[in-house]
Amino acid sequence: MRKTWLIFSQAVTVALAVLFVVATLKPEWLARGPIASVAPLPTVRNEIVPAVLPPGTAAQASYALAARRAAPAVVSIITSKAPPRAPQANDPWFRFFFGDREPQAQTGVGSGVIVSPEGYVLTNNHVVDGVDGIELMLADGRRTRAQVVGTDPDTDLAVLKVDLERLPAVGFGDSEQLQVGDVVLAIGNPFGVGQTVTSGIVSALGRNHLGINTFENFIQTDAAINPGNSGGALVDANGRLMGINTAIYSRSGGNLGIGFAIPVSTARQVMDSLIRDGVVTRGWIGVEPRDLTPEIAESFGLPVREGVLITGVLQGGPASDGGLRPGDVVVRVGDRQVGNTVQLLDAVAALKPRSQAVLKVQRGAQQLDVTVRVAQRPPSRRDDQ
């Protein structure tokens, strides 16, 4: 009996000692209740969607992989422009009083995206417009001169070409599949500080009537975009190119959470035309349009409530020769329904010059078809179609 009691007391002493050590070093082991497991984070299209987590558990997501995929293809663009020489620079008296110091060259900083291993780079037209020299600095530290392949002021896009080996190229995404709320990253060179990645979401799609470009169909995002980001990449959470960062809404010049990017669907069409032809060819019929409002439709006694009111027709232009008149309301161009001036502009621009197009028109109570022979759109016409 005494031996049994001795063994019991020793076992209790050892158990208490173990309990003391565990309570001191690993108190969580003594927590009541089963240990909850954290479900994995399933990836759905572009966003990371957290599963239901236990209370007090913080969900964390990283977009490092997307940044590593896209960032090597984003370049910094340094432009230079020779300043105008003062007309009095050769005057001896002028040089005596003011010296003969040469004026400093004007420089600018922007961003661009390498879109093919052959060296084609997408950027904004306003980044390279009117400059004398263009130098690109790659993410790996290489620097090289670039040549302009072509520009398109109507969409504010430009294509550059560099001759280097082992160029990283970004993968294209499908901007038509973007949804409001999708995660996006903006990559560029803001304020010339060096390559920077910021994150946000798609805030809106199809933004237009902003007065920035002739053709507007912007992706709006709250990812931080600042001066110097122009021409940089807007990518999804998988590192695929979704847009070219173009503009910000700001009263101070800094980021206020409203930035705009040109969808990659538009950028690819423009890029292909510039590489193939050197210019972007668009259709034009020579009319002055205006959105049809319910008040205008009622005052004209029109049976339609959606369409584009033609307020002017260029004499001798395609629309005039086809029989279109001021006061007509265009409701369809070919097989495309048009409900506002932006849709009319896009539909007409998509037509091939020297082709024929049928416009469905509401003229008072009568609906008729007008056939026009499409002309080529003159450069930089913002007010007519």
pLDDT tops 60 at residue 3: yes
Quick: pLDDT tens for 293-317: 888 888 888 888 889 999 999 999 9
Confidence of residue 343 (pLDDT cuts 50, 70, 90): confident
Domain ends where: 253, 277, 301? Answer: 277
- Whether 151 is covered by a domain: the verdict is no
Per-residue model confidence (pLDDT) at position 379: 73
- Whether 64 is covered by a domain: the verdict is no
Quick: pLDDT tens for 111-150: 999 999 999 999 999 999 989 899 999 999 999 999 999 9
Domain ends where: 217, 246, 277? Answer: 277
Per-residue model confidence (pLDDT) at position 71: 95
Position of tokens 């994150």? 199
pLDDT tops 60 at residue 321: yes
Contact in structure between 135 and 143 (CB atoms under 8 Å): yes
**340 in the same domain as 271:** no
- Whether 234 is covered by a domain: the verdict is yes
Contact in structure between 319 and 372 (CB atoms under 8 Å): yes
- Whether 271 is covered by a domain: the verdict is yes
**232 in the same domain as 290:** no
**261 in the same domain as 308:** no
Per the model's pLDDT, the better-predicted residue between 54 and 39 turns out to be 54
Q: Round to whole Å and give the CA distance between 61 and 300.
A: 57
Domain extent at residue 313: 283-376
Position of tokens 């029109």? 302
Per-residue model confidence (pLDDT) at position 357: 92
Confidence of residue 382 (pLDDT cuts 50, 70, 90): very low
According to DSSP, residue 353 is labeled T
Query: Is-catalytic flag, 156?
Result: yes
What are residue 220's DSSP bridge partners? 204, 260
Section 139-168 average pLDDT: 94
For the chain, the distance separating the N- and C-terminal CA atoms, rounded to the nearest angstrom, is 109
Task: Out of 55-64, 136-145, 219-228, 318-327, pick the least confident.
Answer: 55-64
According to DSSP, residue 23 is labeled H
Contact in structure between 170 and 114 (CB atoms under 8 Å): yes
Section 264-273 average pLDDT: 93
Query: Is-catalytic flag, 126?
Result: yes
- Whether 93 is covered by a domain: the verdict is no
Domain ends where: 223, 246, 277? Answer: 277
Task: Out of 43-52, 222-231, 298-307, 343-352, pick the least confident.
Answer: 43-52
Q: Which of 152, 156, 182, 328 is catalytic?
A: 156
Length of the chain: 385
Q: Which of 76, 203, 230, 346 is catalytic?
A: 230
| Overall domain count for the chain | 2
Quick: pLDDT tens for 359-376: 999 998 899 999 999 999
Please report, for the domain that includes residue 252, its CATH number.
2.40.10.10
- Whether 224 is covered by a domain: the verdict is yes
Distance of CA 296 to the CA centre of its chain: 35
Task: Out of 30-44, 92-106, 249-263, 347-361, pick the least confident.
Answer: 30-44
What are residue 307's DSSP bridge partners? none
Section 197-219 average pLDDT: 89
Section 78-93 average pLDDT: 69
Q: Where do runs of H (alpha helix) occur along 243-383?
A: 264-277, 294-299, 318-322, 341-349
Q: Across the chain, what does the average pLDDT equal?
A: 83
Q: Round to whole Å and give the CA distance between 47 and 24.
A: 42
Task: Out of 80-89, 105-114, 143-152, 330-339, pick the least confident.
Answer: 80-89
Per-residue model confidence (pLDDT) at position 47: 41
Model-level pTM greater than 0.85? no
- Whether 219 is covered by a domain: the verdict is yes
**CB-facing half-sphere around the CA of 293: CA atoms within 13 A:** 4
Task: Out of 31-35, 138-142, 188-192, 222-226, pick the least confident.
Answer: 31-35
Q: Round to whole Å and give the CA distance between 273 and 353.
A: 14
Contacts of 210 (CB under 8 A, 6+ apart): 216, 218, 247, 260
pLDDT tops 50 at residue 59: no
Confidence of residue 34 (pLDDT cuts 50, 70, 90): very low
Q: Which of 126, 203, 236, 328 is catalytic?
A: 126
Tokens of 373: 């022979």
Section 7-36 average pLDDT: 62
- Whether 264 is covered by a domain: the verdict is yes
